[in-house]
């Protein structure tokens, strides 16, 4: 089988699953062949070994059954870097890049900032901040020990391990009796009634990373109950939320942090997505 015929063969099955079957097919084949996607373009006639054909067939079958491409190839892009991901963690989303941009804008010009990423998952937020702000000290917490193993691996791969600490912790418990310049969180925020069902790719992701309880705000309530103890004057709290819940989260935040200026920001598609609370210095 050649590269061209392998790609053509899997398209019908992948088309039934997602909106980008050609891209998915190329990502899967490049992964199986250990090549860049660009290599495929110039090697239509290259032949796959029997083993490669079989591995590609299996990868396509997993994708056709709904498994997200990122889990099959074991990586996902975020903020221009590659992160290792697997079924232990949520796949980083493009909308979270905007949250990180807000964080970086705030950190610019602040030296040796202490940053806490609550619910760090793959470590995408924590590692990106550490990589973009070379004197920030970042702590990432998660209730999932398996997720923290992925986060540590990513910090290692990206060369920021020395400035990232990952700790298992419940949301409501501060990792230590200390305060941070920035607390950032992309906690589970999908209202339980809106959780995806198979074969939606999101349904393959850890429920605990998505399920925000009846109104999607359960995890944020826990964070807000302790937020006052994590922040100092002039600190920033940044949270990502589901658009229909962002206004309610802003109201909860204003009640929990009466001294903060709270506002809601929109994502690139214009949906209310982020809540920011700036403590007054
Ligand atoms: N944005 C994710 C989704 O829509 C949810 C992420 C989260 O719950 N923090 O699938």
Same domain, yes or no: 32 and 149: no
Whole-angstrom CA distances from 152 to 139, 183, 248 are 11, 19, 33
Q: Given 50, 65, 80, which residue is the final one in a domain?
A: 65
Q: What is the pLDDT of residues 117-154, one digit of tens each?
A: 999 999 999 999 999 999 999 999 999 999 999 999 99
Task: Please tell me whether residues 252 and 211 are part of one structural domain.
Answer: yes
> 261 and 175, same structural domain?
yes
pLDDT in the model for residue 18: 72
Say how many Å lie between the CA of residue 99 and the centre of ligand 1: 13
pLDDT of residue 263: 97
What is the average per-residue pLDDT within 212-233? 95
The average pLDDT across 169-194 equals: 88
Question: Mean pLDDT throughout 83-104?
Answer: 97
Listed residues 19, 48, 65: the one ending a domain: 65
Q: Is residue 172 part of a domain?
A: yes
Q: Which structural domain, as residue segments, surrounds residue 14?
A: 3-65
Closest protein CA for atom 7 of ligand 1: 188
Q: At residue 252, does pLDDT exceed 80?
A: yes
- Confirm whether 75 is domain-assigned: no
| 76 assigned to some structural domain | no
Q: What is the pLDDT of residue 174?
A: 63
Asked, for residue 261, whether it belongs to a domain, the answer is yes
Provide the percentage of residues in the chain whose pLDDT is more than 90.
89
What CATH number has the domain bearing residue 28?
Answer: 1.10.8.10
Rounded to 10 deg, the angle between the 145-157 and 124-132 helix axes is: 30
Higher-pLDDT residue of 131, 177: 131
For ligand 1, residues with CB inside 6 Å are 93, 186-190, 202, 210
Centre of ligand 1 to C-alpha 90, Å, is 8
- My answer on whether 204 and 136 are in the same domain is yes
Residue 85 within a domain: no
Residues 50 and 134 in one domain: no
Minimum-distance ligand 1 atom for the alpha carbon of 119? 9
Specify whether 135 is located in the same domain as 185: yes
| pLDDT higher at 121 or 200 | 121
Answer whether residue 216 shows pLDDT above 90.
yes
pLDDT, average across residues 264-274: 96
In this structure, is residue 70 part of a structural domain?
no
Ligand 1, atom 5: closest residue by C-alpha? 210
Pocket-testing residue among 68, 70, 76, 93, ligand 1, by greatest number of atoms within 8 A of Cβ? 93
Question: Do 149 and 244 share a domain, yes or no?
Answer: yes
| DSSP result, 146-194 | HHHHHHHHHHHHTT-GGGEEEEE--TTS-SSS--EEEEEE----B-GGG
- Indicate if the pLDDT at residue 175 is higher than 80: no
**One domain, residues 124 and 45:** no
Distance between Cα 191 and ligand 1 center (Å): 10
Q: What is the pTM of this model?
A: 0.94
Could you tell me the CA-to-CA distances from 268 to 184, 255, 273, 274 in Å, in that order?
19, 28, 9, 11
If one counts the domains in the chain, the total is: 2
**pLDDT score at 110:** 93
State the distance from the centre of ligand 1 to the C-alpha of 88, rounded, in angstroms.
Answer: 15
For residue 199, name the pLDDT band (cuts at 50, 70, 90): confident
> Ligand 1 centroid vs 188 CA: distance in angstroms?
7
192 and 120 in a common domain: yes
Give the mean pLDDT of the chain: 94
- Tell me if residue 227 falls in helix, strand or coil: helix
pLDDT in tens, 26-37: 999 999 999 999
Pocket test for ligand 1, best of 90, 217, 273 (most atoms within 8 A of CB): 90
CATH of the domain at 102: 3.40.50.150
Question: Quick one: average pLDDT of 28-47?
Answer: 94
Q: In the chain, what's the furthest Cα-to-Cα distance?
A: 66
- Ligand 1 atom nearest the C-alpha of 188 is 8
Domain assignment present for 139: yes
Residue 236's SS3 state is strand
Residues 148, 263, single domain; the answer is: yes
Instruction: Name the domain boundary from 28, 50, 65.
Output: 65
pLDDT over 70 (residue 176): no
Q: What is the DSSP string of 201-226?
A: GGGGS-GGGTB--TTS-HHHHHHHHH
Could you tell me if 35 and 158 lie in one domain? no
Section 265-276 average pLDDT: 96
> How, if at all, do strands 272-279 and 260-266 pair?
antiparallel
Proportion of the chain above pLDDT 70, given as a percent = 98
User: According to the model, what pLDDT value does residue 137 have?
Assistant: 97
- Residue 280 confidence (pLDDT) above 90: no
Do 123 and 249 lie in a common domain? yes
Q: Is 126 exposed, middle or buried (0-12, 13-18, 19+ CB in 10 A)?
A: buried
């Amino acid at each position: 089988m050649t590269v061209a015929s392998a790609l053509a063969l899997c398209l019908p099955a992948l088309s039934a699953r997602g909106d980008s079957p050609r891209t998915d097919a190329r990502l899967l084949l490049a992964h199986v062949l250990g090549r860049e996607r660009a290599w495929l373009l110039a090697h239509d006639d290259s032949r796959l070994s029997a083993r490669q054909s079989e591995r590609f067939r299996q990868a396509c079958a997993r994708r056709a059954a709904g498994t997200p491409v990122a889990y099959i190839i074991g990586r996902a892009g975020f903020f221009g870097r590659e992160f290792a991901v697997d079924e232990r963690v949520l796949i980083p989303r493009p909308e979270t890049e905007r949250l990180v941009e807000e964080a970086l804008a705030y950190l610019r010009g602040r030296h040796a900032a202490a940053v806490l990423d609550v619910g760090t998952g793959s470590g995408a937020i924590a590692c990106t901040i550490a990589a973009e702000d070379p004197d920030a000290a970042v702590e990432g917490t998660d209730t999932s020990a398996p997720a923290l193993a992925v986060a540590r691996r990513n910090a290692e791969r990206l060369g920021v391990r020395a400035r990232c600490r990952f700790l298992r912790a419940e949301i409501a418990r501060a990792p230590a009796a200390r305060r941070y310049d920035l607390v950032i969180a992309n906690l589970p925020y999908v209202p339980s009634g809106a959780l995806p069902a198979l074969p939606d790719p999101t349904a393959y992701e850890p429920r605990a990373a998505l399920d925000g309880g009846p109104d999607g705000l359960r995890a944020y309530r826990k964070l807000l109950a302790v937020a006052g103890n994590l922040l100092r004057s002039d600190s920033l709290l940044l949270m990502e939320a589901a658009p229909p819940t962002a206004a309610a989260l802003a109201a909860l935040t204003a009640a929990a942090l009466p001294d903060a200026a709270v506002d809601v920001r929109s994502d690139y598609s214009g949906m209310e997505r982020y809540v920011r609370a700036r403590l007054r210095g």
